Amino acid sequence: MKVYIGFVLYFLLFASGVHAEGLEGNWYGEGYQPQTGKYHQWFKQQKADGTYIVDFRRYEECKLVERQVETGIWRRTPMGWCDKVTAINGRMVQSTQDDYVIKDMDGTKMRYQHSGTGETWTSRRVGPDFKFPACEPMS
């Protein structure tokens, strides 16, 4: 009986579309990440053809200290999605996989967690003409 209830709950989450629909598009997020001790911004184009590009920018005192452009393939999973990195800054890399669980999502914003690290981020949907906003100093 427990297995049946688990299956029904799994099916309801998957069938609801909350964790499977609407992931395609342009997403922007920002914030201080305690694990790195730096301010991060990221812009991700998650395409319907299963490819993605994400531009990560890391800041210290509002100075850009690192930029990384990652490309790869992505796919939906029952609870979110997974990314497989194929290149970093235009150089092919041995493919790695990152799995994400969507915690909350509406049409304009999603909160998600990296399955491996437990880190949680929030991104908002943005248009194709998106430009990175200026960094604001943290006090």
DSSP letters, 56-85, are EEEEETTEEEEEEEEEEEEEEETTEEEEEE
The DSSP 8-state label assigned to residue 133 in this structure reads P
Residue 72 maps to which CATH number?
A: 2.40.128.20
Cβ atoms within 10 Å of 102's Cβ, excluding its own: 19
SS3 category, 42: strand
Residue 36 predicted with pLDDT over 80: no
Mean pLDDT of the chain: 83
Domain that holds residue 116: 2-126
Q: Indicate whether 14 pLDDT > 80.
A: no
- Quick check: 7 pLDDT over 80? no
Q: Is residue 136 part of a domain?
A: no
Rounded mean pLDDT, 66-75: 95
Here the tokens at position 130 are: 């998106």
Q: Write the pLDDT tens digit of every residue in 98-116.
A: 999 999 999 899 999 999 9
In angstroms, the CA 53 to CA 62 distance is 23
Gap between the Cα atoms of 43 and 104, Å rounded: 19
Which position has the higher pLDDT, 13 or 42?
Answer: 42
pLDDT at 8 over 90: no
pLDDT at 108: 94
Tally of structural domains, the chain: 1
Indicate whether 69 belongs to any domain: yes
C-alpha dist (Å) from residue 113 to 50, 123, 139: 20, 11, 26
The answer to the question of residue 131 being in a domain is: no
Q: Kind and range of the H or E element at 10?
A: helix 2-16
More confident residue, 14 or 114: 114
| Res. 139: pLDDT tops 60 | no
In a domain, 77, yes or no: yes
Q: Kindly report whether the global pTM for this prediction surpasses the value 0.85.
A: no
